[in-house]
Structure 1
Amino acid sequence: MGACHAFPSIEGAIMSSASPRNMTDYEAVYRSFRWERPEHFNFATDVIDVQASGRPEALALLWSDEGGQARRFTFAELRRHSLQAARFLTDLGLRRGDRVFVLMPRIPEWWFIVLGCMRAGIVFMPGTPMLTAKDIRYRLAAAEARAVITEASCLERFEGLVGTGQVKHWIALGEVPSPWIRYAPEEGTATDGVSFEPTRADEPMLLYFTSGTTGMPKMVLHTHASYGLGHTVTGRYWLDLTPEDRHLTLSDTGWAKCAWGKLFGPWSQGACNVVYDYRGRFDAPRILKMLETQRVTTFCAPPTAWRALVLQDLSKYDLSAIRHAVSAGEPLNPEVIDSWKAATGLHIREGYGQTETVVVVGMFPALEPRVGSMGKPSPGFTVSVIDEQGQEVGPGQEGDIAVRVAPERPVGLFQGYLQDDAANEACRRGDWYVTGDRAVKDADGYFYFVGRADDVIKTSGYRVGPFEVESALIEHAAVAESAVIGVPDERIGQRIKAYVVLAPGYTGSPALATELQEHVKRTTAAYKYPREIEFVTELPKTVSGKIRRAELRGSAR
């Protein structure tokens, strides 16, 4: 039970109809877990094709959009479509190792194309449709992309870019003008006899660009093993998936979270991947109705979505099919967790990881939840809190979250930052990979997030994590969302400033600001109260939905 296996052993794991609880004894699983390190591994052939062979009619992808359209695909159909995609791309002349920038909304073709890239050994680079032409230009140049694949509705994002740089193929779905090539693999594209040379597990598979919360995005290189095989831990132990599940993760296709919960995680366990394609602003009632009608059994959402969902009257929706709920991206306020549990009986279990990793810390189903904690280390990972010298600190002491990479590097960790020796050196401290996040670990091994190392506020001799203050603020009924930063102050080093988005029905005023300050003093240590409060209509965020505190600090100077 404790081992995470590569193909062919993975076949037994994903084909079985095991208990809905893949982990009933955390310590036993953690102790017995061993990574298998195959010489060859390809998620498309070693997972999707195994499913297509053993369960050809099992539902793999259940897609719908806000207009009421719906499409369903079995594993056999997924195999066929992805083979057609691979054939289409290679017929154009794309070869193993070529980098392809894929910017598409949540449509089934995105999954066909990225699986097709995997089959052919083409390195895909996901991007969100929210990127600007400037963002895209940077990515295409930095990665030396050989092709672009998008949808007709996104062509304006590439204005002024077509024909520039090293991009040779400009491909798009739908009716597109020259020099764009129409993506139409199903028009006579045969798959019989289509095969590709075996893929080494350590070959490059995809490039992600970091969120860029503190600087220009870095290129994160993953191999077929690090994400394709590594996310078995995410799907089996944290998402707790089985072949009987219908799983929904709320994520854009451009985010690493999509790989976690809309690609490798669910399909590594043979679960059905539920996709809801919405193009406008987040609509909490619509999402809740979709959870009800699609009978979603396991659900993952980012904190921004969870905060909006619990503001609804949850009693109006039949959410009884949901048996497991998780959150990742940023810490989730305990108040939100309590609201969801009161309505559904389910604790939202947090998980921690990065674009660079699979889930490395999680509140796994076998763990007793602790308020404010993100859980314990994932099977296959040694995670700790270390100091500047690379030494582990004691319980209750704040330090840097780090993953041990020596003497053996975990499978589910990225290969490195591409073309960035300085970043690769900066994230290594002795035998540890340093994540850049701060935390405290208690005597029982539970982790408590403090904040990004750059976000921690030093005020009056104290160190304050912004999340502590934000969590206290959101307990107040007037607060829908908040972001906290440190502002330079000659007297106390930094003073705490809060940006507050108000809940419906509230209006910002000096009196309300004072009320919120007093509320924080009562809720947490008095020195953590925000000396300044600014009411705003929205907070600056990265394309993956994380708050850009660096931008707030820059504007506050």
Structure 2
Amino acid sequence: MYTVPDTAIAPKLEAYHFHEQDWEDYDQLYEAFEWEIPDEFNVATYTCDRWAEVAPDRPALLIRDDPHDQGEYTFGELQRAANQLANLLESRGVERGDRIGVNVPQKPEAVVGHLAAWKLGAVSVPLSTLFGTDGLRYRLDDSGAVACLVDESTVDVYRSVADDLDELETVLTVGDVEPREDDGELEFWDALNGHPESFDTVATDPDDDLTIFYTSGTTGNPKGVRHAHRMLLGHLPLFASWFVSMEMTEDDVYWTPASWTWMGGLGCVLLPALFYGMPTVGWTKQFEGADVFGLIEEFSITNFWIPPTALRMMMQEDELAAQHDVSTVRTITSGGESLGGTIVDWVEETFAGADIHEGYGQTEANMVVGGCAPLFPMRRGKIGRAAPGQEIAILDPETAEPTVETGEVGEIGFKYEGNPTCFKEYWNKPRKTENKIRNGWLRTEDLGTLDEDGYLEFVSRKDDVIISSGYRIGPEEIEDSLSGHDAVADVGVIGVEDEQRGEVPKAFVQLADGYEPSDELAEELQQYVKDRLAKYEYPRRLEFIDQLPTTATGKIRRADLQTRHDE
């Protein structure tokens, strides 16, 4: 059986290796599990340093179409590069607690950037490569980032906002970029040359800041979600049960199309994989369903997380499945929106013998609920059961008290106190934190039910957040962006059903005087948002409206817009 080593710098935390034991059923595991939180815990130590010590040649990353023509990156190589980057950043004044942006897709430089930040005791800020000017500027400015890694795919966006970022002093470019040295830009690998390959990773408390993920809501600017080093420990129980179906082998290879700048890609797949010493496949190509079958065969992928939207895209290329060997797949996990019976049936037929698990969580607390076929049967329409260590309840939406009867609809809540999975607070937004955590429960703002056996069913969202291809999109951010166009007098955005993406944003635009509706103007407005926000945030549908419905206080009545769309 494959086991994780016990080392002096990273003692084996037995609680997170329950997959090495035999259990009668899930109830036995759930009752036996207790969180194991050491006095000191640094994610870089457990995901990189310990493996570099005992198995430096063990593969950590497998990069498809690697521009460096290397393809495989070992734990030893990641450690040396991360040590060099940590030394470089320290020489440039980066200190413990400082924020470091990582605006790089599924490339080894992204992993090195995060590791270097954590080795310093600094805080990494994952930044989607799909952001436009407004999205990137806001997050770098709000977090007060003093350093940033910028990819070739995003450097033009960064340069257009650089003059607005007074605190950002160190910028490392990744890929085919000619650095503007006069503007403080340095080429990533060139900059590492000459810096020592050794660095003593700082000791951190499990509650010390690790990352700030930005997530959108229905009101105001995106919120910075502060997670501590303990977040990784919080994710491991569901990873060991849901993602790997209670089995790990020396042949395991993991993958996800989710960006490593997103909680789903970084926090739920990559970091747990590195913790257990397993390689993850990275690929920067834009996702296409036809690609997945060949990718699985090339790398003998055993486990992957993929949103329902991507599975639907794969279903459209069904004939390709028979042309490739996909027999290595043991478990497919998904989340972000409901799977639906059609997808489950297709997966079970196409990946014969593989488990298909749905999961549930959010940026503030992920890896909380999911399936585990080896220990309990899945139920159609149900997400699964609480992960070991997690307590979930259906709360009264008004009082946030767990008083809702079994089977009745209420707000889904997670136990907050003592839960390493949960975020610490919103960055510089104490009032929003207070509203999110009440009576010791983290409120998800989603509605659902729990049955008598503890299976969770998602019913609907309490707010108006749009979930498109697994991304949470705040309508107000799109509204704010569109409002900056001269042709827009007012705008309201809702999510509407989409066969491929689950939901997509639809904008209802009230034009300013002197403008007339046209297909050309609609395309111009869509492009306007594309250029400023993330590519997945632009309104894929747009309708011109004479007058937006509003409340007496001027708030947009999105329910009325939904009714108009449905008619």
- Equivalence for 1:250: 257
Counterpart check, 1:329 vs 2:333: no
Report how far residue 550 of structure 1 moved. 12
Conserved 8 A contact 2:213-2:226 = yes
Cα RMSD after superposing both structures: 3.5
For 1:10, what is the secondary structure of its paired residue?
coil
Deviations 1:286-326 (A, max 9, x none): 12211111100011101110111122222222110001110
- Equivalence for 1:140: 140
Conserved 8 A contact 1:97-1:122 = yes
Counterpart check, 1:220 vs 2:229: no
Distance 2:92 2:249 in 1: 36
Matched letter for residue 233 of structure 2: L
Residue 197 (structure 2) aligned to one of 181, 186, 191: 191
> TM-score, normalized by length of structure 2?
0.77
For 1:53, what is the secondary structure of its paired residue?
helix
- Equivalence for 2:520: none
Matches within 5 A, 1:146-157: 146-157=146-157
Stretch of structure 1 that moved more, 255-264 or 542-551: 542-551
Report how far residue 163 of structure 1 moved. 3.4
- Equivalence for 1:511: none
Residue 393 (structure 1) aligned to one of 367, 383, 404: 404
Conserved 8 A contact 2:238-2:388 = no
For 2:89, what is the secondary structure of its paired residue?
helix
> TM-score, normalized by length of structure 1?
0.78
Report how far residue 392 of structure 1 moved. 3.3
- Equivalence for 1:379: 388
Conserved 8 A contact 1:400-1:436 = yes
Report how far residue 500 of structure 1 moved. 4.3
Which sections of structure 1, spanning at least 5 residues, go unmatched?
Answer: 457-465, 471-482, 486-495, 504-535
Q: Specify whether residues 201 and 361 from structure 1 end up closer, same or farther in structure 2 by C-alpha distance, changes over 3 A only.
A: same
Counterpart check, 1:277 vs 2:284: yes
Conserved 8 A contact 2:132-2:534 = no
- Equivalence for 2:455: 446
- Equivalence for 2:484: none
Matched-pair identity in %? 28
Matches within 5 A, 1:76-115: 76-115=76-115
- Equivalence for 2:508: none
Deviations 1:357-409 (A, max 9, x none): 2301011232211111110001111111111331232222001110122xx42
Distance 1:44 1:125 in 2: 15
Q: Specify whether residues 167 and 356 from structure 1 end up closer, same or farther in structure 2 by C-alpha distance, changes over 3 A only.
A: same
Conserved 8 A contact 1:147-1:169 = yes
- Equivalence for 1:306: 311
For 1:207, what is the secondary structure of its paired residue?
strand
Report how far residue 499 of structure 1 moved. 4.3
Matched letter for residue 108 of structure 2: P
Conserved 8 A contact 1:42-1:228 = no
Conserved 8 A contact 2:260-2:270 = no
Matches within 5 A, 1:114-125: 114-125=114-125
- Equivalence for 2:168: 167
Report how far residue 498 of structure 1 moved. 5.6
Matched letter for residue 26 of structure 2: Y
Conserved 8 A contact 2:213-2:263 = yes
Conserved 8 A contact 2:103-2:150 = yes
Distance 1:231 1:497 in 2: 29
Report how far residue 181 of structure 1 moved. 2.4
Counterpart check, 1:404 vs 2:407: no
- Equivalence for 1:64: 64
Report how far residue 94 of structure 1 moved. 0.5
Counterpart check, 1:10 vs 2:12: yes
Distance 1:39 1:544 in 2: 42
Conserved 8 A contact 2:39-2:205 = yes
Matched letter for residue 348 of structure 1: I
Counterpart check, 1:421 vs 2:430: yes
Paired residues in the alignment total 478
Which sections of structure 2, spanning at least 5 residues, go unmatched?
Answer: 476-493, 502-522, 544-557
Q: Specify whether residues 372 and 455 from structure 1 end up closer, same or farther in structure 2 by C-alpha distance, changes over 3 A only.
A: farther
Report how far residue 333 of structure 1 moved. 1.8
Residue 368 (structure 1) aligned to one of 377, 381, 395: 377
Deviations 1:115-139 (A, max 9, x none): 1111111111011111011111111
Distance 2:393 2:540 in 1: 25
Report how far residue 183 of structure 1 moved. 2.1
Stretch of structure 1 that moved more, 321-330 or 148-157: 148-157
Distance 1:84 1:12 in 2: 32
- Equivalence for 2:237: 233
Distance 1:129 1:252 in 2: 9
Report how far residue 501 of structure 1 moved. 4.8
Report how far residue 337 of structure 1 moved. 1.1
Q: Specify whether residues 360 and 375 from structure 1 end up closer, same or farther in structure 2 by C-alpha distance, changes over 3 A only.
A: same
For 1:436, what is the secondary structure of its paired residue?
strand
Q: Specify whether residues 441 and 86 from structure 1 end up closer, same or farther in structure 2 by C-alpha distance, changes over 3 A only.
A: same
